[in-house]
Homo-oligomer: A and B are copies of this chain.
Amino acid sequence: MDQDLATIVRETATEMALAPVRGRVADYIPELAKLSDRHFGMVVITADGAEFAAGDADLPFSIQSISKVFALVEAMASHGEALWQRVGREPSGGAFNSIVQLEAEGGKPRNPFINPGAIAVTDLITDGDDPRAGAGRILRLLRQLSGNGGIAMDGAVAYSEAATGHRNAALAHFMKAHKVLSGNVEATLSAYFHQCAIAMSCRDLARAGRFLMNDGVDPASGQRVVSAEQARRINALMLTCGHYDASGDFAFSVGLPAKSGVGGGILASVPGRASIAVWSPGLSPQGNSLLGTRALERLASATGWSVFNPNR
């Protein structure tokens, strides 16, 4: 299989490199808009530790919403079940930045992977008024899990997000009005913009996500990141809510827990089998990487990897 997997990864990358329709690069932040849509990178790490890489596997990109998975890990560690008083666990049925649901439901966001939910999670892990606290915790976790101490935030991206982030500011103030946020709104937003601006490669990301396929234990270090139950729950949330209002379609077509970001990255896990990261900046209308999704669909189909496969 490993030989096969190498072929599958290589062929998938070749196919994606040639794809004529590549989606639309996010343009709401000048720093992201500069990217070429030609990029495609992919890394698969299997349970036995083998790594299969192709394309721009080592080029850092802005992980954006993928940071929400690791913010959730931090909040689970420090707040346990109390976390769920601030944020729900249901698919929202709406866009990633919709404010309608907040108004209808007393300011409590549906899940930790839509923007308001992620801001509420970041508020929890940003103790006090220091915006560096929250984003700093996430950065340290990512460095440790990937083994790459050089991972950093892209200051220009963070600055751009803050300057254009009025919609996220609206979400944060709205939740503050409903007492769903406890910290200072500006500090929480700054932390959120900084965590989204973390830049890392597919290789770093696939490594950082290994605990997700391994019931919460990082196979590289043997250290437990979250409990087995928490790991399964994070996977469940990624499957039901990881692709905004295209989550159902992703579960239907790919069948794997995954989280996307508008930088074009997707982190996916195959419980017991593999940790996967893909990157291609062109997005679908729902804001998920177009070729990244297609690559995962192809990989899942070729390998039979699906949480719904009885012979997995």
A residues in contact (CB < 8 Å) with B: 47, 88-94, 98-104, 110-111, 166-167, 169-174, 176-177, 185, 213-215, 231-233, 235-237, 239-241, 245-249, 251-252, 255, 257, 271-273, 306-312
CB distance A173 to B177 under 8 Å?
no
CB-CB under 8 A for A308 and B248, given A170-B170, A170-B174, A255-B232: no
Q: Taking each of A47, A91, A98, which has the highest tally of chain B beta carbons within 10 Å of its own beta carbon?
A: A91
CB-CB under 8 A for A248 and B88, given A99-B99, A215-B310, A306-B232: yes
Question: Which residue of the partner chain, among B173, B307, B308, contacts A166 with CB atoms under 8 Å?
Answer: B173
A277 to chain B, nearest CB (A): 18
CB distance A166 to B170 under 8 Å?
no
Q: Given the complex, which residues of B lie within 8 Å of A272, measured CB to CB?
A: 309-312
Q: Given the complex, which residues of B lie within 8 Å of A307, measured CB to CB?
A: 271, 307-308
Q: Majority SS of interface residues in chain A?
A: helix
A87 to chain B, nearest CB (A): 11
CB-CB under 8 A for A271 and B166, given A90-B248, A248-B90: no
Question: Which residue of the partner chain, among B237, B249, B273, contacts A252 with CB atoms under 8 Å?
Answer: B237
CB distance B166 to A177 under 8 Å?
yes
Question: Which residue of the partner chain, among B177, B241, B245, B255, contacts A167 with CB atoms under 8 Å?
Answer: B177
CB-CB under 8 A for A249 and B90, given A232-B309, A306-B232: yes
CA distance in complex: A172, B247 (Å): 26
CA distance in complex: A176, B173 (Å): 14
Query: Copies of this chain, how many?
Result: 4
Apart from A90-B248, A111-B248, list 13 A-B contacts with CB within 8 A: A90-B245, A90-B249, A91-B248, A166-B176, A166-B185, A170-B171, A173-B173, A236-B251, A240-B252, A271-B307, A271-B308, A273-B310, A307-B308
A243: nearest chain-B partner, CB-CB: B90
CA distance in complex: A248, B251 (Å): 13
CA distance in complex: A72, B272 (Å): 31
15 contacts between A and B (CB under 8 A): A47-B310, A89-B248, A89-B249, A89-B252, A92-B93, A99-B99, A99-B102, A99-B103, A99-B174, A166-B177, A239-B308, A240-B251, A257-B308, A271-B307, A271-B308
A227 to chain B, nearest CB (A): 13
A104 to chain B, nearest CB (A): 8
CB-CB under 8 A for A237 and B232, given A110-B93, A272-B312: no
Q: Given the complex, which residues of B lie within 8 Å of A236, measured CB to CB?
A: 248, 251-252, 255, 308
Q: Taking each of A169, A176, A245, which has the highest tally of chain B beta carbons within 10 Å of its own beta carbon?
A: A169
CA distance in complex: A99, B175 (Å): 12
A251: nearest chain-B partner, CB-CB: B236
Q: Taking each of A101, A173, A241, which has the highest tally of chain B beta carbons within 10 Å of its own beta carbon?
A: A173
CB distance A91 to B166 under 8 Å?
no
CA distance in complex: A240, B308 (Å): 12
CA distance in complex: A235, B248 (Å): 11
CB distance A237 to B248 under 8 Å?
yes
